[in-house]
Amino acid sequence: AQSVSQHNHHVILSEAASLELGCNYSYGGTVNLFWYVQYPGQHLQLLLKYFSGDPLVKGIKGFEAEFIKSKFSFNLRKPSVQWSDTAEYFCAVNAPNNDMRFGAGTRLTVKP
């Protein structure tokens, strides 16, 4: 079964710093990839997703992610974070028609 690894448990940045959160998955076939955000006390929201095509995916709120098939990676990036980006970020993977598996999550704290 596929699994998802997020390398950073807790990331602390100052406002305007650049962000990159790592995500690797273990599955040899075709996969769909997702990044979700969970703000404190709120439910999951989809940031972006990759199904096929351009491996550089742009999402909401200035986030983007790049799918590198050879590295089994789907890292999330943002050039300049804001205090309001403080949240938990989850990478998720599913093979078509299969269930979605989540990484352990990365807590992002942005200091004003």
Partner 1 sequence: GAVVSQHPSWVICKSGTSVKIECRSLDFQATTMFWYRQFPKQSLMLMATSNEGSKATYEQGVEKDKFLINHASLTLSTLTVTSAHPEDSSFYICSARSSVSYEQYFGPGTRLTVT
Binding interface with partner 1 (CB under 8 A): 36, 43-44, 88, 90, 94, 96-97, 99-105, 107
**Closer residue to partner 1 (CB): 15 or 31:** 31
Structure tokens that stand for 65 in this block: 């992610």
In whole angstroms, the minimum distance from the beta carbon of 89 to partner 1 comes to 11
In whole angstroms, the minimum distance from the beta carbon of 22 to partner 1 comes to 15
Which residue in 52, 34, 31, 50 sits closest to 95, CA to CA?
Answer: 31
In whole angstroms, the minimum distance from the beta carbon of 20 to partner 1 comes to 19
Find the length of the chain.
Answer: 112
Cβ-contact 2, 49 below 8 angstroms? no
